[in-house]
Amino acid sequence: MTREIIKIEGLHKTYALDGVQVHALRGIDLVLEQGEYLAIMGPSGSGKSTLMNIIGCLDIADAGRYWLNGQDVTQLSGGQLAQIRNRELGFVFQNFNLLPRTTALENVETPLIYAGINKRERRSRSEEMLKLVGLGERLYHLPNQLSGGQQQRVAIARALVTQPSLLLADEPTGNMDSATSAELLTLLDKLNTEQGLTIALITHEADVAARAQRMVILRDGRLEASS
Ligand SMILES: Nc1ncnc2c1ncn2[C@@H]1O[C@H](COP(=O)(O)OP(=O)(O)OP(=O)(O)O)[C@@H](O)[C@H]1O
Ligand SMILES: [Mg+2]
């Protein structure tokens, strides 16, 4: 039986800036099942990051419903949303967002500190994740001693060490040359097929989107096509 990780119905989001209303999302319906790998494409300003922020419980919609793992997220308080973010979601961004003077291992351990996991277990789980992303030989390197692709792998290890039900990636290959980007995409393929990781990835690039199992296109706040 398949399980719905994300279920979205009739989602709307409007921003008001200096008295001008921007209708960023105009009625989004979307279902993402466990183990799926979805790419969200669309031109600049089409609402991709807005949708990702709502899926990631970093922002809330004005109208519509959103269930994450069967839980109605639209009804939750700020504190409850923060808890869901820590428990259910892993984030990867274009600029990695690693702590600069902190080793790869310590970067990966950070979310486990917040989760209240003891030091010994933090260490062993973080080492295991870094090995899984191919950085077993780089545990004590600082971010500036790693390549861009390696830094993004640390960010992925950090996103996954809490065993989230969904990995959200906003332009994860945006700052990479094509060879580094290809390596990272191979890692995401592996995590999806071998570990059953559910992935939602935003990208401008058609060749990146082509690696996903399914693609949707956002245009002017609406999902235009899916395959
Ligand atoms: N905080 C905000 N306040 C006002 N308007 C906003 C805000 N955030 C986004 N918008 C507007 O909402 C629309 C959608 O923005 P969004 O960032 O979701 O686009 P995007 O598809 O991620 O674009 P890009 O590919 O350039 O990252 C745009 O018109 C943008 O100007
Ligand atoms: Mg964006």
> What backbone phi and psi angles, to 5 degrees, belong to 121?
-70, -35
- Which two three-digit tokens encode residue 164? 């989230």
Q: Which residues touch 124 (CB under 8 Å, ≥6 apart)?
A: none
**Average pLDDT over every residue of 33-47:** 95
Atom nearest to 204 CA in ligand 1: 25
Cα 44 to averaged position of ligand 2 atoms, centre (Å): 7
Q: What is the pTM of this model?
A: 0.93
Looking at 3.40.50.740, 3.40.50.300, 3.40.50.720, 1.10.10.350, the CATH number of the domain 4-226 comes to 3.40.50.300
Cα 89 to averaged position of ligand 2 atoms, centre (Å): 18
**Average pLDDT over every residue of 148-171:** 95
Q: Closest residue (by CA) to atom 18 of ligand 1?
A: 47
Q: Which residues surround ligand 2, an ion (CB under 5 A)?
A: 48-49
What are the tens digits of pLDDT across the range 42-100?
999 999 999 999 999 999 999 999 999 999 998 898 899 999 998 999 999 988 899 99
Q: Would you kindly state where each structural domain of the chain is located, as residue ranges? A: 4-226
Q: Closest residue (by CA) to atom 24 of ligand 1?
A: 44
Q: What is the pLDDT of residue 227?
A: 57
Task: Report whether 54 contacts 14 (CB < 8 A).
Answer: no
